[in-house]
Structure 1
């Protein structure tokens, strides 16, 4: 069976995370998004663990569903589901956590059980309840070994980003871990065309996850994986990832990621990396220039073009439906207009992913011709993009009269030469 899974988010006790991150809303919003499994995030934080245990019951080994009593009596949950849709969440939860090691490298851990979470809490070195994403006095190898001892899956989170990633700190994955990790998470600023230029990653499965800090549909599931599993359980998911049965990765065009290009973190001026280095990574405005993911990949690359191994699935570019509606009508993503339009499409086609990927364009055109044109542009990759960098997301350009300084044609690699064109 093919499932859709978003395996990296954060709970309400992480810094800069919405307090609406409840198990019930993760499940209900995941259903509207079209996901079968959503991560819990922050599974080593005691208060979050308590919330998850209270709200859920096991439904398959290592997979949890919302208890019937919670579905029925959570009034806030009822208010958040559009009229006409099921009020019984179907999306299941799986325990996960992101941790930061002693060199500020972030690791994603997918856990098999509450027992594993509590056992690891006793062994992890750090204040686990100060933040949902704990800072540990342990290195990558120590974290990996402890995770594997407890039956977990583990790999680098957002592996290329310039602040807290594996390739920020190391030039090789072997310098971070004692053995090959179960997976590598690409992050919003990279895709498989970029990562598959690095030879040492050829045998490693890639994950694409949202890293969401709120449960709303423009965050949750903005990146996700399609995985072929034997059943809905942790062992089946682990086997599928180890056997490289990820059938598709869905995520941002990496040019939309906020760290794709080398840029100032204060004024967001983009720089050629060599110029930034000559300036000692200091912008005239006083801000710090951060090396972009595209140039970091360039430094690490074995080949000029991607070499996709036979097990590598397609990477399909998507963007949250609410953001496409917002851009189409120049309205805020949380406005009532955008939410009504979003609900209209969900009621028609069942869930957001179906709208973005499967809905017939003819039917979309009947509902909203302009919106259908935008969704079609994603499907056939005829996108015009202001590239992101320095901590600011890239932007889609739908106004054909608008002048943009730099557009990379579709299917062109983000090489150093392409940067200079």
Structure 2
């Protein structure tokens, strides 16, 4: 069965997240986006885990559904579809290894609530779990992996947003140069990495050491409407074991839905305080110092990939699945209407399109352009067509600032 999943999200119990991150809103937005399986996020938080156990009941094997689904009028008829949940969470490991402080975020997928309780019992001996849905623990990522496997041999640990500078396995500020350097003899138990918003599969294909490692994408959503800004497309059994086998072997991952990586907020090098964005070559020429103030530059994902790559850009390993780069529909609508993407006018057209054509992924990737034009504007339809063709112009993001993307033709306003 072919379906789309977003397995790395957060709940309202995580810091810097929206209060709307509850199960009914995740259920609603999964349908609006076109997502069949959603991670619960934050399964280490005792309050959220209790809520999950109260509100979810078994669905497909190892997956869960809402005990009481909201009224169907919450979702346009054209978008209505079943939604299942998979138990997941993110853990921030901060520790010393190899003479350096390491900060590695890890996504954990679990087959049942019993495994979640076993893992949480071990983690509670390391630090406090109730203060943040994404707990910050003084814990070696290798030791976390051992705990995850002890909780269940069917559990998965996936290094999250693997290239971002500050909190990732390969990040420039505190990361490693290989999975083996991080996980030692347990490295073979790491079957996948999450590409993150600032990289895409093509960038990861440049490292031969990642051949055989499954590339997955997820939103890391901090509000319900951000669900699905990245996602993974599976073609496997709709079950926990189906997803487990697909991630562990790569067979059954049909592709990923991606940000244009330049739009990610850590793609290029730079110094946000000074408004300075640099290429890797410029950063090296300035000795990794901001040319405006002399402060230390944040080395972005592109630069880090260049340092570790052993292949030229454009090489695609055999059997690597495809990926599709998209811009969120609400952003495209805002640009076409020349309004902010949070405006009531943009929101009204967004739901009008979903009501007439179907979920967001269908509109972005499959809906005929003439039908999009008939239900919105020719400018929006043309912009979606250029996005599908990769005809975009982007001022790359850097040092925590998202990039700006344009799909405008000459004479049109940028999106």
Moved more, 234-243 or 373-382: 234-243
Query: 2:231 pairs with 208, 224, 238, which one?
Result: 224
* 1:309 Cα offset (Å): 2.6
* 1:308 Cα offset (Å): 2.5
Change (3 A) 1:370 1:401: closer
* 1:137 Cα offset (Å): 2.0
In structure 2, the residue matched to 1:407 is none
The runs of at least 4 aligned residues of structure 1 exceeding 4 Å deviation read: 82-86, 285-288, 398-403
Distance in structure 2 (CA, Å) of the matches to 1:154 and 1:281: 35
* 1:61 Cα offset (Å): 2.4
Q: What pairs up with 1:14-53 in 2 under 5 angstroms? A: 14-53=14-53
Distance in structure 2 (CA, Å) of the matches to 1:319 and 1:371: 12
Over aligned residues, Cα RMSD in angstroms? 2.1
Moved more, 343-352 or 304-313: 304-313
Distance in structure 2 (CA, Å) of the matches to 1:201 and 1:141: 18
Give secondary structure in 1 for the equivalent of 2:51: helix
Distance in structure 1 (CA, Å) of the matches to 2:194 and 2:38: 15
Give secondary structure in 2 for the equivalent of 1:396: strand
2:260 corresponds to 1:253: yes
* 1:398 Cα offset (Å): 4.2
Distance in structure 1 (CA, Å) of the matches to 2:380 and 2:282: 40
* 1:95 Cα offset (Å): 1.0
In structure 2, the residue matched to 1:163 is 166
In structure 2, the residue matched to 1:115 is 114
User: CA offsets, 1:188-211, max 9 Å, x none?
Assistant: 010111101001101100001111
Distance in structure 1 (CA, Å) of the matches to 2:224 and 2:67: 19
In structure 2, the residue matched to 1:99 is 91
Moved more, 169-178 or 291-300: 169-178
In structure 1, the residue matched to 2:316 is 308
In structure 1, the residue matched to 2:147 is 146
2:320 corresponds to 1:319: no
2:97 corresponds to 1:90: no
In structure 2, the residue matched to 1:195 is 204
2:383 corresponds to 1:374: yes
Asked if the contact 2:276–2:292 (Cα under 8 Å) also holds between the matched residues in 1, the reply is no
In structure 2, the residue matched to 1:206 is 215
User: CA offsets, 1:283-338, max 9 Å, x none?
Assistant: 63476521010110000001113443323111110111111111222222222111
2:339 corresponds to 1:340: no
Q: What pairs up with 1:5-16 in 2 under 5 angstroms? A: 5-16=5-16
Asked if the contact 1:266–1:287 (Cα under 8 Å) also holds between the matched residues in 2, the reply is no
Distance in structure 2 (CA, Å) of the matches to 1:275 and 1:387: 15
* 1:54 Cα offset (Å): 1.9
Q: What pairs up with 1:121-136 in 2 under 5 angstroms? A: 121-124=120-123, 125-136=126-137
Structure 1: stretches of 5+ with no match in the other structure: 404-421
Q: What pairs up with 1:261-280 in 2 under 5 angstroms? A: 261-273=268-280, 275-276=282-283, 278-280=286-288
Give secondary structure in 2 for the equivalent of 1:104: strand
Give secondary structure in 1 for the equivalent of 2:277: coil
Distance in structure 1 (CA, Å) of the matches to 2:91 and 2:290: 29
TM-score computed with the length of structure 1 as normaliser: 0.88
Distance in structure 2 (CA, Å) of the matches to 1:399 and 1:4: 29
